[in-house]
Chain A
Amino acid sequence: MKLAIASGKGGTGKTTLAVALATLLPGCRLLDADVEEPNARLFVNGDEIDQREVTMPIPVVDPAACRACGACVRFCKFNALALAGGKILVFEELCHGCGGCSLVCPTRAIHEKPLPIGALSTILNDTWSLVEGRLNVGRMAAPLVIRRLLAQANKTGETIIDCPPGTSCNMVTAVRDADYTILVTEATAFGLQDLSLAVNTMRKLKKRFGVIINRADLGDDRVRRYCADESVKIHLEIPFSREIAQAIANGKTMLDGAPEFEAQLRSVLAQTGMGGIA
């Protein structure tokens, strides 16, 4: 089973929760899909056992075969190709790697070369493993790295996906394989605003989801009222805790700082169907 931990707003505690849940599921694989700023690695002490490059196909134009007809330029919706002075210019940083230009070229003048855009790193912890997706600085094709990362999910056991914040392509890609998604929010106006975007996104995607309110005692009642009005299940409320904050600051998990939450986190896993409990 795959459980995604997403949010609307950033900084609500997705990674905090994802890492804590992973420690409760022996053999679990955690995928850090926040490829623009992955940080779950901070909480893992084990050795990196594998690193592989993620590449994207980029067009290369053979000037001898190119008739400068512009079919590729007209096809590219990302404006990564230009026809100027009778030559095709390629702007690699705008390319999304779809390969369409090489398909529409009538003279087969375009082939593709792999351009490194990121990496997947596998790190073994004592009871679980992390695969971190990382997009190279300056690259825009985050969903491609996320798709490669999702292919590293456990084939038979449990997988937790630590998603990027927001509700853009990156988040949509990260939750698309999930059987269940937990949206982590906080009890503030900002938290509610972005939670409502995330809820609408999950509904459009027809995905099963529920909410965890972190730092639930800082703020007000509006997230609770919203969830009640929208019939969204609140799995857990985690109050602000100095002990949790200290543990996180020391590279430990929230359960190291507040072990009393173990039973509640196990209950959340059971509610979502993780660990074969439901």
Chain B
Amino acid sequence: MKIAISARSASLESNFDTRFGRAPLFVIYDTDSKEVSSCNNTQNLQAAQGAGIQTAQNVANAGAQAVVSGHCGPKAFTVLTAAGVTVYQAKAATVQDVIRQFENGELVAMNSADVEGHWV
């Protein structure tokens, strides 16, 4: 299973980015093969509006079945749910920390958005 983790740069050592829609990129981690890749999100980082909606499609198109971020707004949550992507919320310093928490089953799936739109 592929999980997309909002991050500042494309490595396991990268800082975890708590923003979903305006994260600069997502580290894509395959829990089966342990392969690491990334998915650029710069275009949505600069979107005037609807960044969360575009980002949700972006990570779904990258093949992620789960997303881990710090927060998720209502529109992004709607798109991710429609795309069959599970959203997990984490508190962590680095992408590596997030992966460890995920693999240890410490993360809980969100069943609704936790912030209003336009949360920065």
Residues of A at under 8 Å CB distance from B?
73, 78-80, 82-85, 87, 89, 91, 94
Asked whether B78 is an interface residue with its Cβ less than 8 Å from the other chain, the reply is yes
**With A89-B78, A89-B79, A89-B82 in contact, is A84–B57 under 8 Å at CB?**
yes
- Nearest-CB residue, chain B, relative to A79: B50
**8 Å CB contact of B50 from A80, A84, A85, A87:** A80
- Tell me whether B53 and A87 are in contact (CB under 8 A): no
Majority secondary structure, B binding face: helix
Residues of B at under 8 Å CB distance from A?
47-51, 53-54, 56-57, 60, 75, 78-80, 82-84
- Tell me whether B82 and A78 are in contact (CB under 8 A): no
Measured between beta carbons, the chain B residues less than 8 angstroms from A87 are: 82
- Tell me whether B57 and A91 are in contact (CB under 8 A): no
**With A84-B60, A89-B78 in contact, is A79–B54 under 8 Å at CB?**
yes
Distance A89 CA – B76 CA, assembled complex (angstroms)? 11
**With A84-B60, A91-B75 in contact, is A79–B53 under 8 Å at CB?**
yes
- Tell me whether A91 and B53 are in contact (CB under 8 A): yes
B22 to chain A, nearest CB (A): 13
- Nearest-CB residue, chain B, relative to A80: B50
Interface centre among A73, A79, A83, A91 (most CB of B within 10 A): A79
Distance A83 CA – B83 CA, assembled complex (angstroms)? 8
- Nearest-CB residue, chain A, relative to B80: A84
**With A73-B57, A79-B49 in contact, is A85–B75 under 8 Å at CB?**
no
Measured between beta carbons, the chain A residues less than 8 angstroms from B50 are: 78-80, 91, 94
**With A89-B79, A91-B75 in contact, is A82–B84 under 8 Å at CB?**
no
Measured between beta carbons, the chain A residues less than 8 angstroms from B47 are: 79
Measured between beta carbons, the chain B residues less than 8 angstroms from A94 are: 49-50, 53, 75
- Tell me whether B57 and A82 are in contact (CB under 8 A): yes
Measured between beta carbons, the chain A residues less than 8 angstroms from B56 are: 82, 84
**With A79-B47, A79-B49, A91-B75 in contact, is A84–B54 under 8 Å at CB?**
no
**With A73-B57, A79-B54 in contact, is A85–B49 under 8 Å at CB?**
no
- Tell me whether A85 and B53 are in contact (CB under 8 A): no
- Tell me whether A83 and B49 are in contact (CB under 8 A): no
- Nearest-CB residue, chain A, relative to B83: A84
Distance A79 CA – B78 CA, assembled complex (angstroms)? 14
Distance A85 CA – B56 CA, assembled complex (angstroms)? 11
Distance A151 CA – B79 CA, assembled complex (angstroms)? 39
Measured between beta carbons, the chain A residues less than 8 angstroms from B53 are: 79, 82, 89, 91, 94
- Nearest-CB residue, chain B, relative to A73: B57
